[in-house]
Amino acid sequence: MILFQNIRFLDTTLRDGEQTPGVALSTEEKLLIAQKLDDLGISTIEAGSAITSAGERESIKAITAEGLNAEICSYCRVMKPDVDYALECDVDSIHLVVPVSDLHINVKLRKDRETVRRMAMDVTEYAKDHGLIVELSGEDASRADLDFLKSLYTSGIDAGADRICFCDTVGLLVPEKTGTIFKDLSSSLSVPVAIHCHDDFGLAVSNTLSALRNGAQEAHMTINGIGERAGNTSFEEVVMALEWLYRYNTGIKCDEIYKVSRLVSRLTGIAVAVNKSLVGANAFTHEAGIHVHGLIADTSTYEPMKPEMIGRQRKVVLGKHAGKSSVTLALKELGLEADASQLNEIVSRVKELGDHGKKITDSDLQSIAETVLEIYRESKVNLEEFTVVSGNKITPTASVKLRLNGDNVVEAGIGDGPVDAAINAIKKAIAGVADIQLEEYHVDAITGGTDALVEVIVKLSKDGRMVTSRGARTDIIMASVEAVLNGINQLMQE
């Protein structure tokens, strides 16, 4: 059984990837990406198509002048001027693309099969005579007559082609057919055979792996799978499937993949889908409590591989699915510890926010945790019940029931608003024990939206001693009550 032999990678991010609608890279951007591709260990970088424009040639020249380890390639049509422009850019090789399906030959070129065969041979010989490596590609090969395709490839090899490529130009292959085709091509042709897939049906990676398993020795891919229409074969997916699923050593510096993915996304302006495998934002992000509980015991429970393998880090986000394990892990990362009762309260507040559709950030969690940790610090004053009434033409009124040194105290207060009324009620309730003054009051919305988590910070004083405390809730009144009670408990500590 044929299985992965001497695989090399041609990256076409700078050519096929740049053909993504709306993408145009500057010379500096192309050079930066090329350098990072070379650092990864890519065999061949298709730097562009020299015939395209003067600006494109400037970019290709900048890349060839960099002295990279990778072979630098220019895309060419079966026309000698294309080769001349490629030579002007001092590339190592050309990707010579020949339409091979009758649809392309008759409709696009308005020629016949034999004319196209002669064109392919003539341009291949011309390029070889000028010292270029030639990779001869059959465009729309998946819709071509296979016997004609093989004969054209054979003619190209006779003319000097160094490699042959089968292009699934509109993504019509299925893995089973791909395997059959590449067993045939790899056994009947005398040079390495490559696969170039598009992802119109989401099968580019599957077809590429099938081709490689059945004799192909080169894969054409792009970073993040960018390209025309639905894109090209995703580089990171093929490489990591080979490395992790098939245990084949690709020679790629896998721990640099994520950095290159982010760079390409930033420079092209093409956002990576959050659920994209390996490099999407959610690929190694966990929320569900049962998953995080498993991760703490053994990361392989809910991760196919360690994120560090491609240069990533695991993330735990908190929301309504969070459990004690998620919160414990997140608190640990913030340098905070909570006992069982504190943890239960923090989890409850996190879920309350999650039920409002919020994702809890580190700053949210820190605010919630610090608030809860202060509440549970041997509180002398605890809130038992709280009611507030406010509205148009109604004097804001609040009533509180506090547990004060073991006794229940009930008081009411009015104010300019519901928060002011609540604070006045609390001050009256503890007046017999301590005279607390509110010196400063400040509120911040930590998260956005009308149901945001708000953090209230108050400065309270008693007998010349001053403390600052906070409260964090989705309800500004409750956050204010919480902040005041936290401060009172601090001031009443002996």
Angle, vertex CA 479, rays to CA 477 and CA 483, nearest 5? 120
Q: Helix-strand-coil percent breakdown of the chain, rounded to 5?
A: 45, 20, 35
Tokens, residue 228: 């025309």
The half-sphere exposure of 233 on its side-chain side, counting CA atoms within 13 A, is 30
Could you tell me if residue 183 is left (phi over 0), alpha (psi between -120 and 50 degrees) or otherwise beta?
alpha
* Domains in the chain with CATH codes: 8-268 (3.20.20.70), 285-373 (1.10.238), 378-491 (3.30.160.270)
Q: What is the CA radius of gyration of the chain?
A: 33
Dihedral angle of Cα 397, 403, 409, 412, to the nearest 10 degrees: -10
Could you read off the pLDDT tens digit of each residue along the chain, which spans 494 residues?
557 788 999 999 999 999 999 999 999 999 999 999 999 999 999 999 999 999 999 999 999 999 999 999 999 999 999 999 999 999 999 999 999 999 999 998 899 999 999 999 999 999 999 999 999 999 999 999 999 999 999 999 999 999 999 999 999 999 999 999 999 999 999 999 999 999 999 999 999 999 999 999 999 999 999 999 999 999 999 999 999 999 999 999 999 999 999 999 999 999 999 889 999 877 777 554 444 445 545 556 657 778 888 998 766 666 666 767 777 777 776 778 888 888 888 888 887 777 766 666 665 777 788 778 866 655 677 788 888 888 887 888 999 888 887 788 888 989 888 888 888 888 888 887 778 888 888 887 655 555 567 878 888 888 877 777 777 777 888 888 888 887 887 777 65
Give the DSSP H or E segment for 341. Answer: helix 340-354
What DSSP designation does 156 have? Answer: H
The b/e string for 331-369 (b: 16+ C-beta within 10 A; e otherwise) is beeeebebeeebbebbbebbbbbbeeebebeeebbbbbb
User: Token pair for residue 97?
Assistant: 């693309």
- Model-level pTM? 0.71
413 three-state secondary structure: strand
Spatial distance between the Cα atoms of 246 and 3, rounded to a whole number of angstroms: 10
Name the residue among 139, 107, 106, 102 with its Cα closest to residue 120: 139
What is the per-residue burial (b if ≥16 Cβ within 10 Å, else e) of 94-106?
bbbbbbbbeebbe
Judge whether 123 and 152 are in contact, CB under 8 Å: no
